[in-house]
Structure 1
Amino acid sequence: MNHHRKKMQRKIISILAASLPLSFLTGCSADEKNRNYTIPRSLCGIKVVSDELTAFLPPGEKIKVRKEIRSWITTCKVVVDDTLILTTTHEWLPKGRTTTYFASGQTLEDINFSAEGGRFRYSGNEGFGKTQKCVDEVRGQELYAALQASGSKHMDSDAMKHLIISYTKEVEKSPDCTETLQ
């Protein structure tokens, strides 16, 4: 009986070992899609680190990036295969507001993480930042930036932290900041 038991164990192990690579290969190829579009290096004129943005972009065939300007608000919408994946927003607010105030007007979610003393607020798929150099003294306003990947299935607060910090610093170098200051 002991010999029969060992023989059965060997047979089960060999069946499992043989089926493991097959299930691994079919699992990857059946469920995985590719990105057949180029990852943008900028979003409506604002430079982004492609590696930081990539995590929030899904597989797909086509990507479209379009800019919209409404009074004091500039948005940039990133659409992959007709699905809105990411929206950026630049908005001028009265001086003295906070990033928490700005975020509360943009999202219904709790934004639990912060960096640089609250200058940046972020979650797994949203980030909000206050520029330091974009101040319109005549109108008494300051510029804020938001990245909202509400159409993305990816949730990564650390990646969003890096993305919103680098993005906000690029907004400070952009015409959205400098043209209003002249």
Structure 2
Amino acid sequence: MTAGLSSPDGLDRVSQRRVPSARRYVMAGPAALALFLLFTGCSGEEAAREYATPRSLCGTPIDTKALEPFLPPGREISVTGSDGSGIKSCKVVIEGALVIVTMQAWIAEGKSTAYFAAGQTLDRPDRSLEGDRILYSGNQGFGKTRTCVDTKYGQELYASVQAEGSKHEDADAMKRIILAYIEEVERSDECTGGAL
């Protein structure tokens, strides 16, 4: 070994330089962890739902417990409806994004829930109830009312709940939502009043 490269205790200079830099990495570990926890703690707060879950959508009561998981975090919610030409719709917008749409529509007698659903979505619901009167999937439900018939115009009332703007999917929850929603529609003035 050449003179000046070894220290009196026998360690070369390269080894001596590595020890302090290793200490820096060890000391940086707790600081990095603290920063990570700080940022993840902040993002957890941002992911909270600060608005109230609506109890009805444009006048029609909704199963709030089943609906709630489909609602994303955010501060602002708006629920707006439109009504005309035999169609009543309701849109739920959260932080500027369309999350849920409900619809009640008068369709010519003799049609089916599959016919109604095909006009609302490109996704085919993969589950059914009551001989295909109710069709649903993880984020959509469609159904035909049992008692809402307008004999004057030969039409029957259908209804749907679509949560395509939600990242959440739960077929059991959607089944509960559409069944309860159809029952509320059957009790509504829309059912007894007939198509306009």
Normalization by structure 2: what TM-score? 0.76
1:68 shift after superposition: 0.6
Structure 1 residue matching 2:159: 3-state secondary structure: strand
Q: 8 Å contact 2:153–2:195 — kept in the other structure?
A: no
Equivalent position of 2:143 in the other structure:
129
Which of 160, 170, 177 is the matching residue for 2:184?
170
1:30 shift after superposition: 2.9
1:158 shift after superposition: 1.0
Q: 8 Å contact 2:155–2:195 — kept in the other structure?
A: no
Q: Distance in 2 between matches of 1:59 and 1:25?
A: 20
Are 2:54 and 1:65 aligned? Answer: no
User: For each residue in 1:48-67, what CA deviation from the matched residue of structure 2 results, as whole angstroms up to 9, or x when unmatched?
Assistant: 12101101111110111111
Are 2:100 and 1:86 aligned? Answer: yes
Larger radius of gyration: 2
Structure 2 residue matching 1:166: 3-state secondary structure: helix
Are 2:43 and 1:30 aligned? Answer: yes
Are 2:134 and 1:120 aligned? Answer: yes
Q: Distance in 2 between matches of 1:90 and 1:43?
A: 12
1:38 shift after superposition: 0.7
Equivalent position of 2:120 in the other structure:
106
Mapping for residues 137-176 of structure 1, pairs under 5 Å: 137-176=151-190
Which of 49, 52, 68 is the matching residue for 2:63?
49
Gaps of 5+ in 2: 1-35
Q: 8 Å contact 2:106–2:195 — kept in the other structure?
A: no
User: For each residue in 1:44-100, what CA deviation from the matched residue of structure 2 results, as whole angstroms up to 9, or x when unmatched?
Assistant: 110112101101111110111111113111100001111110000111001111111
Gaps of 5+ in 1: 1-22
Q: Would you identify which runs of 4 or more consecutive aligned residues in structure 1 move more than 6 Å?
A: 23-26
The change in CA–CA distance for 1:34 and 1:143 in structure 2 (over 3 A counts) is same
Are 2:91 and 1:77 aligned? Answer: yes
Q: Distance in 2 between matches of 1:29 and 1:176?
A: 46
Structure 2 residue matching 1:168: 3-state secondary structure: helix
Normalization by structure 1: what TM-score? 0.82
Report the residue type matching 1:30 in the other structure.
Answer: S
1:150 shift after superposition: 1.1
Aligned residues between the structures = 161
